[in-house]
Structure formats: C-alpha cells, structure tokens
Amino acid sequence: MKKVLLLLTITLYAFSSAKAQDPHFTQFFASPLTLNPAFTGYFSGDLRLSGNYRSQWRSIASPYVTGTLAADFGILKNTISYTDTWGVGILALYDKTGGGALNSNYVALSTAYHKGLDVEGNHTLGIGLQAAFVQKRVDQSKLIFEQQIGDNGYDPSLPSGETITNLAISYMDYNVGLLYSGLVGESSNLYLGVSYYHFTQPTETFLNADNNRLSYRYTIHGGGSFPVNGSNRIHLSAHYMKQNQAVETTMGGAYGFNLNGDPDAPTVFYLGAWFRLKDAINPYVGLEFNSVKVGLSYDLNVSTLKPASNYRGGMELSVIYIRTKNDNKKNGTLCPKF
C-alpha cells in the first residue's frame, strides 16, 4: 500500500505540468544543451556528440526514463575573429513518466556565440538561443487518481472523476542562456552561467482549458578545474534550479587521475560525488580515453521518500565524444567539462 500511494504521488506530480519539474539529469554537466543553450559549440574540439540515459524509481514501480541525443559544432571558424566561437546544435529528448502514463518528446535547435574579451580569447562571454518543438501524449489507462484508492488499495474499476479531453498536445518552446568562461593562470579555468527556459510560457494542458501556462525555469550554474599533483586535476561544479515551487540545489566534484601522464591525449579516471540538497547523494565514476568520456552515477535517495525507496533512486549514464583536428583554434583553451 505504501508503494501504491507513493506511485500515486509521483504520477500526479508529473502529470500536473504547472507544478512539475522539467526532465533533468544528475550529471547536469554531461548534458550541456539541456542545462544552458550557451554551451552550444563551446568545447575544445570540432564536433561533439553526447548522449544521456536516466532510469529513476525502479525500486518503487515502473521506472521513469529520460534519454537524450545531441550534436553540436562550431561554424565559420575561418571567418569570425580568432578569439570568438560560434556554434550550432541539435538536441532530441525522450521522457517517459508514470510507467508510460505521460510520454514527452523534444527536438531542439540551438545556437550560441562566444565573444573573446581579451586578445588571446582566454576570457569569453557567450549568449545562446534555443527553439524546441515539444510533443506530449497521455495514456489514460496508466494513470492512477485519488478517487481510485479505496480501503483495499488501488481499484481501477472505480471512476477517476477526471475527463482528459486532449490526449496529445504539441507546441513551440524557447530558451536562452548566458555563459562566462575564463582561464586562471596557465592551467585553471572558471565558468559561470545562467539559463532561462520557457520564457514565452506556452500553454500546456490536457484538459479543456487554455489558462495553464508552462512555468519558466531558470538555472544558475558554475564550476572550474584546477591542477593537482602534476597532471591530475580536480573538477568542481554546482547549480541552482527553480521552476515554480520546485527548487534543486546540487554541488560536488570529481578528481581526475591522469593514468598515462600524457597532457595532450590523456586517459583519465574520474572519481567523485555530487549532493542534491534534501534529496540525494550522487556517487560518480568516469573514464576519458581516445576522445570519449563515459560517466556513471547513482542517486542514493535521502529525502522523505526513503522509507519506500530504501535509499534507491536513479541510475544515470552519459557518453560524450569529441572529434578534434590538429588545427582546431580552441584546442588549447580549457573549456568547461564539469
């Protein structure tokens, strides 16, 4: 009974779009185009391919599944200033909640321009824009409503008391972001960004109403990396996100062990953890080799849901591939990684 009630709570929370959070990742640093459009094209390389997969609440019922695929790259490198970067990208996102009760699909195009603030381009300020086409579909047979919870638990034969008039909806959505990145000394970097999603607040409702607007989401995030013990590095990052009444604050870091001692083509093992306040502890391990970086994390739930979850939250996997040519002008710049 405890798990049924908890599933009801989570399902209604996801279905009530005016109050729910957007899909998001524990490894926010490994999903740059869902964190801030200004990250588009800003990396040390020519082409970046990234993917994320998250499965949450498997310990309670059918897991909530979120996945992304993205590609971004720089353009007009021989036309714009040596200190500037102009990037474009495309993002596809899939999200399934409540055992398939609500399925969401996003396709987004983004662009960002980073202006060098000094003659060497070691300090940049960028702005990014993103336009997304969103489709959402409800499977009413998989929804659980309060009126269907009786003395003996969930009874699907009981009337739900709800009428869903639109089982599928679609709309355009728009996001914007700013990002500062700077080199500190010769081998450290810092960055600070802010993003604002759904700034037109499109109408989103499955009911016969037109006054339910999608709540805007803003995020403040930052981090940096610093050399430790020669070729090893420590990476720190944090972010604060707010959407309606939902607030998320995450902070942490990872230590990067350079296994082959090569600063130009390193093989790096990452070990670290992030902490989402009042929610979860997130251990993280990663490996970077041959232009590929793989990260694995797990949410150890420490919120008020832990009696039902037994501390088990969500598993998350990220993969990033960066193709680099020898003549890449950003090759020597320490762009944000975490």
Q: What is the pLDDT of residue 338?
A: 86
Q: Which of 62, 109, 117, 47 lies closest to 84 in space, CA to CA?
A: 117
Token pair of 43 as six digits:
């990396």
Residue 319 has pLDDT above 90, yes or no: yes
Specify the CATH number for 44-323; select among 2.40.160.40, 3.20.20.120, 2.60.40.2470, 3.40.50.10470: 2.40.160.40
For residues 88-107, average pLDDT: 90
| From 111-115, 117-121, 163-167, 193-197, the region with the lowest mean pLDDT | 163-167
| Structure-model confidence comparison of residues 281 and 311, the more confident one | 281
What are φ and ψ of residue 235, in 5° steps? Answer: -120, 130
Which residues on neighbouring strands pair with residue 128, listed in sequence order?
Answer: 112, 177
Share of the chain above pLDDT 90, in %: 58
Residue 297: pLDDT band (50, 70, 90) is very high
Q: What secondary structure letter does DSSP report for 214?
A: P
- pLDDT at 302 (0 to 100): 83
CB of 48 closer than 8 Å to CB of 73:
yes
What's phi and psi for 279, nearest 5 deg?
Answer: -140, -60
- Give the burial string for 311-326 (b: 16+ CB within 10 Å, else e): ebbbbbbbebbbebee
Residue 238: phi and psi, rounded to 5, are -155, 155
Spans of all domains in the chain:
44-323
> Please, what is the average pLDDT of the chain?
85
pLDDT score for 23: 83
* pLDDT score at 185: 85
Task: Give the per-residue pLDDT at 98.
Answer: 65
Residue 13 phi/psi, 5-degree rounding, is: -65, -40
User: Which pLDDT value is given to residue 14?
Assistant: 43
Q: 307 — phi, psi (to 5°)?
A: -60, -35
| Lowest-confidence region among 41-45, 184-188, 234-238, 333-337 | 333-337
Beta strand spans in the chain (E): 47-56, 64-74, 85-97, 102-116, 123-138, 149-150, 153-154, 168-184, 188-197, 217-228, 232-243, 246-258, 268-276, 280-289, 292-301, 312-323
Buried b (16+ CB within 10 A) or exposed e, 25-53: bbbbbbbbbbbbbbbbbbbbbbbbbbbbb
Residue-wise pLDDT for 258-276, tens only, equals 999 887 789 999 999 999 9
CA distance 119 to 162: 62
Give 11's pLDDT tier (boundaries 50, 70, 90): very low
Question: Could you give the CA distance from residue 298 to residue 281 in angstroms, rounded to a whole number?
Answer: 8
Residue 140 binned pLDDT confidence (cut-offs 50, 70, 90)? confident
Of 122, 46, 73, 192, the closest CA to residue 332 belongs to 122
Rounded Cα–Cα distance for residues 55 and 280 (Å): 15
Q: What is the pTM of this model?
A: 0.86
CA atoms within 13 A on the CB side of 39: 26
The C-alpha atoms of residue 295 and residue 319 are separated, in whole angstroms, by 7
